Amino acid sequence: MSDTIINENGLAISFFGYEDIVVPKNCIVFSDRVYEDFHATANERKSISVENGNPKFKSVNNCLIEIETGKVVLGCKNSVIPDDGSIKIIGAHSFSGIGDMESDDRDIFTHIAIPDSVEIIEHHAFADSGLTDIELPNSLKEIGSMAFMLTRIGMGGKSVCIPNTVEKMGIGVFTGCTELRRPMIFSQRYKIEGDCIVDTETNTIIAIHNGIAGEVLPISADKIEMLTFMGQKSGTKYYFEKNIKEIKVHPFKIPASIEFPITIVTHKDSYAHKFAIEHGIAYEIW
C-alpha cells in the first residue's frame, strides 16, 4: 500500500490501495473516515500486513491485531483468527460487509469458529457479512449490538449456540437473520420466546431473529428495544399486547421508517398505539 496519509500523532487520515493493506510503522490509530472506508471496501481486501517496528499493531493470518489488548481490529476474506490464546476481542465492524449478498465472494466467507480465548464480540463485528455458520466459544462473555445483523446465519437448517458464559448481549444481535429459525441459548440471563430473545433481568425484548409475519410478542416482556426491528421486511406485522409499557428509542438519528419498518398491531389506547401515533409508525387496531 502507498500514499497513506498520517499526521504527526500517528493518526491515519486516509488509506489507498484496499486490496493489500499494509499498515505503516508510524500508524498507531485510525480516523473514523478510515474505518468507514474499510467498511465500504470490505470485499476488496485480500491481505493485511504491518510494517516492522509498529508499536501498536501486528498482523497474524491476515488479521490486524492491537497488540496490547489482543483485539482483532480488521479482517479480510482470507483471515483466519489466531487460536493461540492471544485473541480476547473481536472488534467492532472488523469483519462487517465481507462476503455480503452483493459480493462475488459471498460463498467464501461463510464459516468462522471463534477461538476459545475470545471474551468479547463487539457491535457490528460480522454485520452484513456472508456468514452462514458461526461457532461461539465457552470463553465468551459479551456479544455487542447488531453483531450478526443481516447475515445468513442459519442457512441450511443450522442454528447458533449462545453458551452459558455469556453475561451480556446487545440489542438486535440477530436482526435481519431471516434464515435463523431458533438460536439455542444457554445463558442464564437470556431466553427464547417465539422468535424473540428476552433479557430476563430487564424484561426487555432485545432481538427478533427471523421476522415471521403475524408474530405475537411474548407477554413476559414489558419493554422493547426499538432497534430490535431494524432490518425487518417493511410492513411485517407484529402483535403488541397491552403489557408493553415502554419502547426504547435509540439515540442514533435514524428515520422511523428504517429503524421501525414494521406495522404495529395493538389495542386501542394502549401504550404501543400511542407510541405509533407519536412516531408516525404504521399501525392497526387489534
**Residue 13 above 80 pLDDT?**
no
Residues 107 and 231 placed together within one structural domain of the fold: no
Residue 202 lies in a domain: no
Model confidence at 8, in pLDDT bands (50, 70, 90)? Answer: low
In a domain, 204, yes or no: no
Task: Report yes or no: 102 and 134 within 8 Å, Cβ to Cβ.
Answer: no
Q: What is the mean pLDDT of the chain?
A: 84
Q: Which domain holds residue 87?
A: 5-188
Instruction: Give 198-210 as a DSSP string.
Output: EETTTTEEEEE-S
Angstrom CA distances, 130 to 133, 154, 239, stand at: 9, 11, 31
Pair (159, 226) in one structural domain: no
Both 126 and 239 in one domain: the answer is no
Element (H, E) at 263: strand 263-266
Same domain, yes or no: 121 and 26: yes
- Tell me how far apart the alpha carbons of residues 204 and 286 are, in angstroms, rounded to a whole number: 22
| Per-residue model confidence (pLDDT) at position 10 | 63
Please determine, for residue 216, whether its predicted confidence score (pLDDT) is greater than 90.
no
On whether residue 228 sits in a domain, the answer given is yes
Q: Quote the pLDDT of residue 72.
A: 96
Say which CATH number the domain at 97 has.
Answer: 3.80.10.10
Give a yes or no: residue 199 inside a domain.
no
35 falls within a domain: yes
28: left (phi over 0), alpha (psi -120 to 50) or beta: alpha
Is residue 14, in this structure, part of any structural domain at all?
A: yes
In a domain, 200, yes or no: no
> Which residues lie below 8 Å from residue 102, measured CB to CB, with a gap of 6+?
none
Do residue 117 and residue 248 come from a single domain?
Answer: no
Q: Is residue 152 part of a domain?
A: yes
Q: What is the pLDDT of residue 273?
A: 95
Beta bridge partners of 246: 223
Q: Give, in order, the Cα–Cα distances in Å from 259 to each of 2, 91, 286.
A: 39, 24, 23
User: Is residue 23 pLDDT above 60, yes or no?
Assistant: yes
**Distance (Å, rounded) from C-alpha 118 to C-alpha 90?**
7
27 and 128 housed in the same domain: yes
Range ranked top by mean pLDDT from 38-42, 172-176, 178-182, 272-276: 272-276
Place of cell 395493538: 266
> How many structural domains is the chain composed of?
2
Scanning the structure block, which residue is given the C-alpha cell 485510525?
A: 30
pLDDT of residue 21: 83
177 lies in the same domain as 241 = no
Whether residues 161 and 120 fall in one domain? yes
Verify that 111 and 19 share a domain, yes or no.
yes
- In the predicted structure, residue 256 carries a pLDDT above the cut 60: no
Do 166 and 282 sit in the same domain of this protein? no
Q: What is the pLDDT of residue 6?
A: 54
Mean pLDDT of 185-207: 90
Among 173, 188, 203, the domain-final residue is 188
Q: Is 258 helix (H, G, I), strand (E, B) or coil?
A: helix
Instruction: Say if residue 86 is in the same domain as residue 126.
Output: yes
Region of poorest pLDDT, from 75-79, 197-201, 215-219, 239-243: 215-219
Residue closest to 117 by CA, chosen among 143, 76, 82? 82
Report the alpha-carbon distance of residue 53 to residue 238 in Å, rounded.
55
Note whether 225 and 138 are same-domain residues. no
Among 70-79, 147-156, 214-223, top mean pLDDT goes to: 70-79
